[in-house]
Structure 1
Amino acid sequence: MSFSTVSLSRLLLASAFAGTLADPGLAQAQAPAASTAAADEKAAPEDDVIIVTGSSTAQRKFDVSYAVTSLSNADIQKLAPLNFADLLGNIPGIQAEATGGEVQNVYRLRGIPNEGSFQAFHQDGLPLYHDNDGPFFKGDVLNRVDLMTRTVEFVRGGPAPIFASNASAIYNMITVTGSDTPAGAVRLTLGDTGLYRFDAYHSGPIGKRTYFALGGFVRRHEGYRPGGFPSDDGGQFRANIRHEFEGGEVKASVLYLNDKNVFYLPIPVADPRNPTSSLDPFLDYFTGTLNSPALRNARLVYSDGAGSKLSEDRDLADGRHTKMLSFGLEYKQALGDWTLDAKGRWTDGKVDFDALYSTTNPADSNVFASGFLAAARTAFNTPTQTVARLGYAIGGTNGATVFDPRATSGLVLSAQYRAIASDFYSGQGEVRLYRDIKTGLGKHSVVFGGYASAYGNEYGQRYQDYLFELATKPRTLDLIAYSDTNQILGYVTDKGVLRYSTTITAGESDVTIWAAFANDTWQVTDNLRIDAGVRHERYTFRGFGIGQTTVNLGDPTTLADNATRAYTGIPNNTRFTVNVTPWTFGANFDLSSQFGIYGRVSEAFRVPSEFNVYSGAANVVPKARQYEAGVKIAMPGVSAYLTGFYTKFDPFNASFLAFNPVTGQNNVPLTFIGSAVTKGAEADIDIRPVKWLSLAGTVTVSDPTISDLVNEQGASAAAVDGNQPIRQPKVYGNFRPAISFDVGEANVQTYLRYNYVGKRFVDLFNRTELPSYDTLGAGLIVEYRSWNFQVVGDNITNARGLTEGNPRTDQLAGQGSSTAIYGRPLFGRNVRFVVTKAW
């Protein structure tokens, strides 16, 4: 176990016993409880849960005029998600792909063709890093659920653009804080995939009107697709101190995250020579991976721009190594009729990312080699010797260990090692003033606020391509040029490297944002509520990217270092500003205490990312206009929230192969600009016909389409207009029946979780299909006094399904088959055992 894991373990053990050691009398006076920190939320009817996200003041879930889901820690425990993306996949309107591993997964909101950057992740009302989609780290990288998570609130659409930047949705994680009653829990999770996880938290008073809470988790996991090294290793620690005073409170918090997570990428699942032929004998569908111990010491070679050849040693086992320290401070104070809420956060961190990305489809070994024969002859022929053939050997053995792919699958494949370093900081603060104003025509709840952030990053990325055998945990291969007497004349590769420095980027960025916002919720009558809000933001981007060129690194014995990308050493300075004004307008009408309707329109923007500073890419600012109307039902035994929505996203940038009428060339990559439109409906329903039975589920039915595509050269987009956007299904959802009964003093809950995802496509032409799939999970929970025992199984039928194809290459024209032969499969059957002791 790593030093960081040991250190976090000690912190968590301290958190588990801190309260009892600090004040044994308090601990002895408190009777054990059979629940976690979220007991109050679990006991409250869902419609009476108080919502604070996307609102000027706290409101009941039933009263708000937008789609929101609130999950307590107990709810999350029952769902037992594999990761945060899997949790998002249980929320209506959110399509999640949770097969990339612990973090950096894909989640899309209501058809917006974007992999997460229109969705804001908050902790206690502020982001940890201002940008929703930072330089190679998304919100789910920085935000982890553990026992210090009290609730998570998911706001889709609604007023999200007013209370967060770049947001058509807000996912707000609300942490545990202390109270007069000491509370805590420890939890041990064991899994049959080599998972070992320990969670703990403790909270309570430490003085008069002063309270604390602290806890977190440590975890080590061999992985769903074992690569010869742990896929996850590390954890996080969180703590806060809160002091109440007359008319207000102040709270200070800290978060420390130190975690390594391997990234699972697509794998070949069928033979491209015969797409009906499975590759399971060589690369198992459920456990196969291209992650390999062969890349524990990967040497990346590139030119520094001063004529020097540099090398950097990387370790694939490091995965995405995130180290982050964040401090928060919040102050609330009543000022007459007004309330002041000021909060700030400072985050400093680093992400070192190592991953092996898929590139092209597997190739017949003979066909692949023949493609390099002409180049090898040009490079290695001499007046006395000629390249007669190309052959394979295990990478780095100088040809001593000959390898014949025809003795196994007959295929070889290439993949790309990506090494990225992102050293980031983010400081953000927000001030809100709010109050209720009673008038002759109802009551206004108004909020005025200001937000500011300074964030930035020192960034570097280097990619290089490798050649592999087709196998799980594959060995690298060398492709060698032989004479007719079997002498080695040169190498197409270099110690398994097919191409050095295929991509390099380096630079720095510093960004500032200033925002002002206002929102008014007008309670016109007891039944009618209208609200409107506006937010204006001004961004200033500054920074530089290091110039690039193409060079030959100068080794005459290999083709791998020809025409590589290199730094020029010359910075390209960039400065630009962006202004956006998102807004929202909504209304809610309650026909009775059990039935209500609402409607809303809102508009959100996505400003350029920091990568535009390094790369000099065009500064496009897409917007998402959302219309939504919903019905709310809260009857004894029935809770239902039904929402219809219409989302228009533009500009939608699409690149695909088409005929160029200017040059007369056919099947060339061209860029088209248009819109992505999604019409749909989502439902969140929980029916309890009797006390012991719950029938809960969510479903989203939509029609995502691409429309109005235009090319500046007049090329036709008829083959794509009206198609589904890449990887977006028309139907997805889940059904979760549960039965609860008592056995003596114990309460037993048993449940199923059925998930369904409709068919999608890997390309804009919709030529290559990702078939629909469904999975079945099951769980058993036994609560006995202060103990909670849980067994949960995922994909218990070993259902097959692909969450994505091979996006590096197949988006232009598909994979040459009607069904994907290269993709990221679901994880196979896995089981976890969880035991929790609460007090």
Structure 2
Amino acid sequence: MRYKKFIRYTLSAAIAAALAPVYAQAQEATDTAPSSDQAATTLDAVVVSGSAVRGGVKKLEASYNIVRASEEQIKMANPKSTADLLKISPGLWPESTGGQTGANIEIAGFPGGGDAPYFSTLLMGSPLYGMPTLSFFETTSMFRLDDTVGSTEILQGGPSVVFADGQIGATANFFLKTGSDTPYGSVGLTYGDEGLLRLDAFSGFKVADGWYGSVGGFWRSSDGVRDPQFKADEGGQLTATLSHDFADDKGNLTLYARYLNDKNQFITPIPLVQTGTDSFRAYPGFDPLKDTYYSKAIQHVHLPSYGGVAGGVDADLADGRGADMIFVGGNFDYDLGNGWSISDKFLFDEGDMDTSALFSGNNPASLNDMLYTAGVPGGFALPAGTATATYVGGGDVALDQSVIQQGWWHIHKHLKSFNNDFRLSKELFDGNTLTIGLYVNHYTMDDKWSLGNQMLMTNEPNARPIMVTYDDGGTTYYRTDSQGFADFSGFHIAEHGSATNTALYLSDSWRVGKWLLDLSGRIENQDATNNVCNLDNVDLDGDPTTLYDNAVPVCNGTYAKTDYDKTHPSFSAGANYSFNDHMSMYGRVNTGGHFLDFDNGIRGSTTGNTPPMQKIRNYEIGFKYQSKLLYADISAYRRKFTGLQYQPTNGLGTPTGDVQVYGSDSFGVNFIGAVTPTDNLRIQLVANYLDGEYTDYDACFPYTDINGVDQCAAIDGEQLQRQPKIRAMLTPSYRFDFAWGDITPYITYTHVGDHTQDQSGLQELGSYHTLDFGITSNVGYNWSFALRGTNVTNELGLTESNSRIFGSAASSGGVLLARPLEGREINFQAKYSW
């Protein structure tokens, strides 16, 4: 409770302090901060991500795929989370069915399949962490959208392999609002029908001549669409900036700090019934749009298996997959004269990114089958009629009760990162600028895991845990503990990783008439060390009758150390030709590499025997056009991968078998466009087409199927997992103008095409379409109102099935565990701005 009060009180005090000078000048200030909404939708908009040129380049001249969104455009997208915002960029598909955090982020043509290995989140141009993803972590999980964010630039491929963290996939660069000569700001209150109550506030102001400050943030509490019987999302964020403009437009200094403390439910797959390739329906007793297994009855547990900690740990499902992080950073840009300029960006962040959540195991069965029937996956196969099953807290459980085992996993992850990006530029001659840069990022990870921990519970919404004992030969055996845990085996480790990435890059930009050419190269070294505790199987309590903890892997005091030292070059070359001030065409080729991370490739390997590095070759052409009627930005690409890895795991999350290495080849088209027949009517389309498949693997992947049978699946030629061939969002909007203000209603129709769960292509997830809406209104100079809704037609659509089951995940009767979209969610916001 203390952290919630701290967030509320700190935010309230900061807002009050910030608003004091504003209210004193309220009679004089009638305009809001300068708006870039119009510029953001034109080719005249300036983008800085992916460019080494001081001040950036016009979007018309950017020879790469980049989408810029202003604050208002971010809100119009109605994102359910930071990751969900990425849907505004064609080819990016965030799976937001897991909750506010922990999204899987797919990029067309990049064979991800889980987490976000090919995506990086940047704040003011600085990466939030040295690796884009780790087990139980992706970078959008440590970033929240609020009114302190002024705009974002989402860049795919191209020059991103050279700048910042050298991401080969996509980056989203978020820019904070700062103060101005004229004070401006806003206070907003949002209510949602899922029990959401949220306060947002921001104030930007002048501190002294040439110095400006800002402060803002949010606090919210929500029961969630899938109500777990405790707060699904609760917490807040506080952000402040201090900026200084140097005389004679020589440059700018911006310092910023942010504190985030937010807890979010990590949504577990629920049972559904599959009746065909593209047909799914509700499982009896489960509403797929709003139900969850989470409940007060299973909220608090003690895990004796917690990695490296004697006595275990108490864990709370309400902690979810949240963040408790601090961020301190700064940007410095200065014109030295005579064509010389320097730029430096730095960011330090540290904190906890923990996970407490249920993870799916085997499909449900009746209690009778779970207790007595041989061959039932996850079943006990006890002697007939010997068991006693009771609810934790009292009451017998009927033998026909549907039950399931779920893994109650707890992961403590402490992250720390410091990065600095220094650039020195020189205009060699008119139109030609050469930039040399040095990027350094030192980062660490301290983890303690407790995976497995199979809890027997009712297969129903807001589940209840079940205890089981049985008698055999006059001896009572405890098949579960008093909390309902049937098995504490699994993967329980303590892990420490430390790494430094150092990169030197060179970029030359040359304007020749209507051509803008660039050639950039980067050489990067990753020097990483990972230490993972070695495990011994131990009977935790020394009692052979307590079967749930007789063979628990625990840290034995020794560690396996793996060193990883890899250097890899990347390059990018682009050419843009501007036919005139509203039409251009470009081409680009780039190569890059994806370093191994602590959990994927380094852990489980020995020094000198780590898997090969993933490498990409990307070819892209694009065309941009804008007139009063039409806006169009279209690009076509080919993306070829080598060095992809597959690591089999069992249902408890334990790695099994050898790492398999393969590749992929993809062709696709990304499109974003808008038609504006009148000043008030706008119809926008964001769409992509992908033809991508796995290559370079003539054998088959070994795996254990849903029934526990060893199988082998061929993957060569299969569609890239989790990626639809077609995705499109169509948004018509119309603004009605009145003497007192305006009203703009809009709807967004989204179509997601056929997609599959994993590399085998054996588990189809079908296709779906959704309908979202919004109505925004500005009243006078100060007031604005917004009513927004998502999935208003309650579409049943799937983004993934049980990720711990390879191949077909459906068992008898077509039952499978999967993550469907959340049902209808509507919220209303009232905001006062000055």
TM-score between the two structures when normalised by the length of structure 1: 0.90
Q: Which one of the candidate residues 262, 269, 272 is aligned to 1:269?
A: 272
Are 1:343 and 2:345 counterparts? yes
Q: Distance in 1 between matches of 2:275 and 2:480?
A: 23
Instruction: Kindly indicate whether the alpha-carbon contact (under 8 Å) linking 1:38 and 1:74 is maintained by their aligned counterparts in 2.
Output: no
> Cα distance, 1:654 vs. partner?
4.0
Aligned mates of 2:377, 2:660 — CA distance in 1: 35
Deviates further, 559-568 or 56-65: 559-568
Instruction: Summarize the Cα distance change of 1:88–1:378 in structure 2 as closer, same or farther, 3 Å threshold.
Output: closer
Match of 2:442 among 413, 434, 454: 454
Over 3 Å counting, the alpha-carbon distance change for 1:438 and 1:821 in structure 2 is same
Give the CA deviation at 1:711.
Answer: 4.5
Q: How many Å separate the matches in 2 of 1:714 and 1:393?
A: 37
Contact persistence 1:530–1:588 (CA under 8 A): yes
Rounded to whole Å, the distance in 2 between the matches of 1:272 and 1:481 is 38
- CA distance in structure 2 between the partners assigned to 1:529 and 1:255 by the alignment: 37
Classify 1:795/1:275 alpha carbon distance in 2 versus 1 (closer, same or farther; 3 Å): closer
| Counterpart position of 1:559 | 547
* 8 A Cα contact 2:702 2:713, kept in partner: no
Structure 1 pair 751–405 and aligned structure 2 pair: CA distance change class (3 A): farther
Q: Secondary structure at the match of 1:8?
A: helix
Match of 2:661 in 1: 673
CA contact (8 A) 1:480 1:493 kept: yes
Following TM superposition, by how much is the alpha carbon of 1:503 offset from its aligned partner in structure 2, in angstroms? Answer: 1.1
How big is each residue's C-alpha offset from its partner over 1:207-227, in whole Å with a ceiling of 9 and x where there is no partner?
011001111111111111001
Q: Which runs of 5+ in 2 are unaligned?
A: 650-655, 704-710
| Partner residue in 2 for 1:146 | 146
- Percent identity of paired positions between Structure 1 and Structure 2: 28
Shift of 1:518: 1.3
Q: How does 1:404-553 map to 2 (within 5 A)?
A: 404-406=398-400, 410-438=401-429, 443-463=431-451, 464-482=453-471, 489-495=476-482, 496-525=484-513, 527-553=514-540
Cα deviation, residue 783, structure 1:
0.8
Q: Is 2:191 the counterpart of 1:204?
A: no
Residue 807 of structure 1: aligned partner? 803
Retained in 1: the 8 A contact 2:192–2:828? Answer: yes
SS in 2 for 1:532: strand
Q: Distance in 2 between matches of 1:540 and 1:591?
A: 46
Instruction: Return the letter of the residue paired with 1:253.
Output: Y
Residue 434 of structure 1, CA deviation: 1.8
Aligned-pair CA distance for 1:345: 1.7
Query: 744-753 or 273-282: which moved more?
Result: 273-282
How far 1:596 sits from its partner (Å)? 1.5
Paired residues for 1:30-41 under 5 Å: 30-33=29-32, 37=33, 39-41=35-37
Is 1:831 aligned to 2:826, yes or no? yes
Name the CA distance, whole Å, in 2 between partners of 1:276 and 1:652: 31
User: More deviation in 72-81 or 612-621?
Assistant: 612-621
Q: Which residue pairs with 2:72 in the alignment?
A: 74
Change (3 A) 1:375 1:72: closer
**Given the superposition, is the C-alpha separation of residues 516 and 590 from structure 1 closer, same or farther in structure 2, using an over 3 Å criterion?**
same
1:627: how far off? 1.2
Match of 2:681 in 1: 693
Distance in 1 between the 2:565 and 2:278 partners? Answer: 50
Query: Is the alpha carbon distance of 1:44 and 1:714 closer, same or farther for their aligned partners in structure 2, counting shifts above 3 Å?
Result: closer
Match of residue 736, structure 1, among 713, 716, 731: 731
Moved over 6 A (4+): 271-277, 372-380, 712-718, 817-820
Distance 1:210 1:671 in 2: 55
Deviations along 1:378-420, one digit per CA (max 9) or x if unpaired, are 999xxxxxx54254523445xx6210141xxx53211111111
Q: Where do 1:115-126 residues align within 5 Å?
A: 115-126=115-126
Mean Cα deviation higher: 39-48 or 492-501 = 39-48
**Separation in 1, partners of 2:562, 2:495:** 10
Map of 1:403 onto structure 2:
397
In structure 1, give the amino acid aligned to 2:613.
V
Aligned to 2:652: none
Kept in 1, the 8 Å contact 2:392–2:464? The answer is no
Give the Cα separation in 1 of the matches to 2:340 and 2:74.
35
- Answer whether contact 1:769 1:819 (CA < 8 A) is retained: no
Distance in 1 separating the partners of 2:686 and 2:495: 44
Residue aligning to 2:257: 254
Alignment equivalent of 1:368, drawn from 353, 370, 384: 370
Which of 296, 304, 328 pairs up with 1:301?
A: 304
Asked if residue 285 in structure 1 is aligned to residue 288 in structure 2, the reply is: yes
Alignment counterpart, residue 43 of structure 2, candidates 43, 47, 50: 47
Deviates more, 1:248-257 or 1:369-378: 369-378
The answer for the alignment partner of 1:129 in structure 2 is 129
Q: Give distance in 2, aligned partners of 1:125 and 1:634.
A: 28
Q: Does 1:102 align with 2:100?
A: yes
Going from structure 1 to structure 2, the CA distance change for 1:478 and 1:271 (only over 3 Å counts) comes to farther
Aligned-pair CA distance for 1:506: 0.7
> Aligned partner of 1:584: which letter?
S
Please name the residue that 2:12 is paired with: 13
| Higher mean C-alpha displacement, 595-604 vs 783-792 | 595-604
Kindly state the Cα deviation for residue 714 of structure 1 after the two structures are TM-superposed.
12
Q: CA deviation at 1:205?
A: 0.7
- Mapping 1:537-686, distance limit 5 Å: 537-553=524-540, 554-611=542-599, 614-616=603-605, 618-654=610-646, 672-686=660-674
Task: Return the letter of the residue paired with 1:389.
Answer: G
Q: 1:599 to 1:378 in 2, by over 3 A?
A: closer
Letter matched to residue 776 of structure 1: L
Q: What CA distance in whole angstroms lies between the structure 2 residues aligned with 1:379 and 1:412? A: 15
Secondary structure in structure 2 of the residue aligned to 1:89? helix
**Contact 2:701 2:713 survives alignment (8 Å):** no
> For residues 676 and 468 of structure 2, what CA distance do their matches in structure 1 show?
64
* Contact 1:394 1:475 (8 Å CA) reproduced: no
1:195 partnered with 2:196: yes
Establish whether residue 160 from structure 1 lines up as the match of residue 149 from structure 2.
no
Q: Cα deviation per residue 1:276-333 (whole Å; 9 max; x = unaligned)?
A: 995544221111112222222211123888xx96232111111123111111123222
Deviation at 1:460, TM superposition (A): 0.7
| C-alpha displacement of 1:813 | 4.5
Equivalent residue, structure 1, for 2:708: none
Across the two proteins, how many residue pairs are aligned to each other? 805
Aligned CA distance change for structure 1 residues 815 and 673 (closer, same or farther; 3 Å): farther
- Report the CA distance between 1:758 and its aligned residue: 0.8
Q: How far off its partner does 1:621 sit?
A: 1.7
Q: Which moved more, 1:815-824 or 1:228-237?
A: 815-824
Cα offset, 1:445, TM superposition? 2.5
- 1:32-61 CA-to-partner distances (Å, cap 9, x unmatched) read 54xxx5723346652221101111121111
Distance in 2 of aligned mates of 1:206 and 1:377? 67
What corresponds to 1:663 in structure 2? Answer: none
SS in 2 for 1:21: helix
Verify the 8 A CA contact 2:763 2:807 in the aligned structure 1.
no
- Contact residue 707 and residue 721 of structure 1 kept, 8 A: yes
State the Cα distance separating 1:610 from its structure 2 match: 2.0
Root-mean-square deviation (CA, aligned residues, Å) is 3.0
Q: Secondary structure at the match of 1:141?
A: helix
Flag the 1:13–1:42 CA change in 2: closer, same or farther, 3 A.
farther
Helix, strand or coil: the match of 2:776? strand
Q: Is the Cα–Cα contact under 8 Å of residues 332 and 342 in structure 1 kept in the other structure?
A: yes
CA contact (8 A) 1:320 1:353 kept: yes
Deviations 1:78-131 (A, max 9, x none): 121111222112210101211111111011112212231221210001012222
Tell me what 1:327 maps to: 328
Number of the residue aligned with 1:723: 718
1:771 corresponds to: 766
Q: Is the 8 A contact 2:195 2:224 kept in 1?
A: yes
3-state SS of 1:690 partner: coil
**Separation in 1 of the partners of 2:559 and 2:658?**
30
